[in-house]
Amino acid sequence: MRYRVIYVMGVSGSGKSTIGKLLADTLGCSFYDGDDFHPEKNIKKMQSGKPLNDEDRHDWIVLLNRLAKKQSHGRLVVISCSALKESYRQTLRNGIIDECLFIYLKGDYQTILQRIKNRDDHFMPVDLLQSQFDTLEEPDYGIHVDSNQSQEENISFILKKLSK
């Protein structure tokens, strides 16, 4: 595989952490959940019902890029991150542009809304989902995955794409 870093991206509730972990396990590599690297102020802001802006996300995105470069020396790493805007993805690719891949988990609002309503272990409230869809700039590159499919179907699809 020619990639050192695979970013699994999409709005909250699209399945980034689940698919990222499964993919990393399948490929035998490390997985990092981007949410674990949010500064406390970002988490508190989201918990209060306020969406993050570019300024809030900047240092977090830079940190994930540094993590990707550090952890991927000589090995593959999978990182989940919303990466909602092209400018965020450019920062995430900085210094590794030819060695990283984005896997975009695309889903419809209603399905993802239901997923978020059914989880209780995440800091992002359901009220912020629409702001993520509003901010999202879908990439025209990488692997696009229908997040409404089963986890097994998604992993199988991704592996087929990676083998080409």
- CATH code of the domain containing 95: 3.40.50.300
Residue 160: its pLDDT value, please? Answer: 96
Query: Which of the four pLDDT bands, split at 50, 70 and 90, describes residue 117?
Result: confident
- Structural domain total, the chain: 1
Residue 132: which domain range?
5-162
pTM, 2 dp: 0.93
Query: Which of the four pLDDT bands, split at 50, 70 and 90, describes residue 85?
Result: very high
Residue 122: its pLDDT value, please? Answer: 55
CA-to-CA separations, 120 to 42, 110, 116, 128, in angstroms, rounded: 18, 18, 8, 15
CB count, 10 Å around CB of 41? Answer: 11
For residue 73, report the phi and psi dihedrals to the nearest 5 degrees: -65, 110
